Structure 1
């Protein structure tokens, strides 16, 4: 499957993978941005498969209903009910604490629409689970998926977010006006 994904991603679609998901670090949060189109999902799944590292994801409940629910679960997804006010951060921290190996991919924007500021859940998940954050780009202009080394958060949230934002500076999503 890895060879097939690499063939599609690199040879057919013309993407490049710059860096790779850490195999040595068994637990981390991956933040992938920009998230401006439905096309981001298949590119992210192909890059995950091409790297050979399982990265799970969460998605809105509706994705997991009907005929595609099985597919999204098989791809490593877990449904989330965004209409209820539950403590999702604590629930995900618990998942990290209960597993020997777990990597979770999230969009810091939380949506494909343009946002003024990122959601902070990914940050508090990483802090609560005491795991690093790996940054990944979806740069459609250069057809590159750039992956950072694991970044361990500090006691200074503002400094950490400066690091995150600088990693994504100049990156163009599928719909650049939304990032």
Structure 2
């Protein structure tokens, strides 16, 4: 794949700096899909660099995306930094859990993008966490797939999935999406994605 520059015109210094950093490293970010609100599932998560790329990438394209993080981490100077990075605190004292509180956030905003990493860990997760799916389904927002392809050095958004209510069917579709790119450490892929990725590699080598 040719690494054509598709960055938008920067509106802020931070956006310009992130674009320059990605260009210097040979990376690009595809245009974000035209949706007003969404759950963004990012991956495959096999390295600490994935998070760094995600933060730089979203700033480079001017995407105001947020993370839901436990409120106890917002105390002191770290709280200021987390808010600057787009984090939204989850109140652990409430009976409503993360899914319910995130759905509430979507109800309060005309435009909102929440980023999640469904694999939950960067090393061989046996299965995905599914809270993101229930949030999207209950909030009535699509799921945007965001992938870091280390082979082609590009962050791409290959699919926008409207949750059907059939969790297993939709998860299988998302697993296939994640298996369509090359992560930094393929051996650390989550189990359902690794099986598909290895099958894809085998078919390519035949």
Instruction: Mark yes or no: TM-score above 0.5.
Output: yes
Which residue of 1 is the match for residue 179 of structure 2? 169
Question: Which of 161, 166, 182 pairs up with 1:156?
Answer: 166
Query: Residues 86 and 59 (structure 1 numbering): CA distance in 2 closer, same or farther, change over 3 Å?
Result: same
Q: CA RMSD in A?
A: 2.4
Give the secondary structure class of the aligned counterpart of 1:148: strand
Q: Map 1:16-165 onto structure 2 (within 5 A).
A: 16-18=28-30, 20-22=31-33, 24-59=34-69, 64-65=74-75, 67-80=77-90, 87-165=97-175
Residues in 1 aligned to 2:29 and 2:160: alpha-carbon distance in whole angstroms: 16
After TM superposition, the structure 1 stretch with the greater mean CA deviation from structure 2, 168-177 or 27-36, is: 168-177
Residues in 2 aligned to 1:2 and 1:41: alpha-carbon distance in whole angstroms: 17
Which residue of 2 is the match for residue 178 of structure 1? 188
* RCO comparison, higher one (Cα < 8 Å, 6+): 1
Residues in 1 aligned to 2:76 and 2:47: alpha-carbon distance in whole angstroms: 22
Deviations 1:39-70 (A, max 9, x none): 22221011111211211112456754554432
Give the secondary structure class of the aligned counterpart of 2:127: coil
After TM superposition, the structure 1 stretch with the greater mean CA deviation from structure 2, 62-71 or 151-160, is: 62-71
Unaligned ranges ≥5, structure 2: 1-13, 190-206
Give the secondary structure class of the aligned counterpart of 1:105: strand
Deviation, 1:85, is: 8.3
After TM superposition, the structure 1 stretch with the greater mean CA deviation from structure 2, 129-138 or 113-122, is: 113-122
* Rg larger for: 2
Deviation, 1:157, is: 2.1
Residues in 2 aligned to 1:139 and 1:63: alpha-carbon distance in whole angstroms: 31
Residues in 2 aligned to 1:78 and 1:159: alpha-carbon distance in whole angstroms: 30
Unaligned ranges ≥5, structure 1: none
Residues in 2 aligned to 1:161 and 1:146: alpha-carbon distance in whole angstroms: 19
